[in-house]
Chains A and B, each alone.
Chain A
Amino acid sequence: MAEEFKPGCQRPPIVKPAPAADVIETSVMKEASKPMIKVGKPAPDFTAPAFFKGKFVNVSLSEFKGKWVVLCFYPGDFTFV
């Protein structure tokens, strides 16, 4: 029976099917080789769809070269805080 949960800022963890052993091995290797963000180093560039003043646009971080940018990640729309 599906269990009711109270909505909060934290999304309940997703229980995923356990990946096959060989998949785990490769994903761990990928994780280890991924460089961490460092202050003073370039921000990873990206292009993403965005909503902006009634329109849908594609935006790239690199468009803002020459300006200060605050990039704010958040858990999701309608998440209270």
Chain B
Amino acid sequence: MLSISVDSVFVHKMWNDHEISKMIGHDVPFMMCSDQDGGIGKSYGIYDEDSGVETRGRFIIDPDGNVQAFEVLTPPVGRNVKETMRQIQAFQLVRASGGTEATPAGWRPGKQVLQPGPELVGNIWQVWKVEQAFD
């Protein structure tokens, strides 16, 4: 986990010391990176030139260094940490299966996975129900 904003590392320290550590009872457990000229944000396509800050861009990067997922929100809406965790678990399952398994909509650990193949084409309706996306 890496967090990153255009704030200096000094501001990160103040935020950790005076607010976040009081919220969680200890120091922020991950590195808080500083991208003061927005260069990193620009390379990820989430830097907002108009306000000079980075939008809420969240990237899941696999052990090979490839981007598996991203989500970008405007500043006033916070993220869903559980959804990020769910996606990581799904990508890890797919990776562990060597690409033989896929996680259908609404999947979370323990729920049904699918084995894509010729027999499954046109037959999802027999093995997977729409309700599973919502339960």
Contacts and interface: CB of A to CB of B under 8 A. Distances in A.
Contact of B55 (A38, A48, A75): A75
Q: Is the interface of B mostly helix, strand, loop or mixed?
A: mixed
B11 interface: yes
A9 interface: yes
A59 B9 contact: no
> Which of the four size classes fits the interface of chain A?
35 or more
A77 B5 contact: yes
A46 interface: yes
Given A50-B2, A68-B61, A72-B56, 14 more contacts: A9-B75, A14-B51, A37-B70, A46-B43, A48-B34, A59-B33, A65-B65, A67-B63, A68-B60, A70-B84, A71-B61, A73-B4, A75-B75, A77-B14
A11 interface: yes
Interface of A: 8-14, 34, 36-46, 48-54, 56-57, 59, 61-62, 64-79, 81
B44 interface: yes
A45 to B, nearest CB: 7
B2 A71 contact: yes
Interface in B63-100: 63-70, 74-79, 84, 88, 91-92
Contacts of A74: 3-5, 54, 56
Contacts of A42: 65-67
Contacts of B74: 10
Given A74-B5, A75-B75, A68 B54 contact: no
Given A37-B67, A49-B9, A75-B56, A57 B31 contact: yes
Contact of A73 (B31, B41, B69, B88): B41
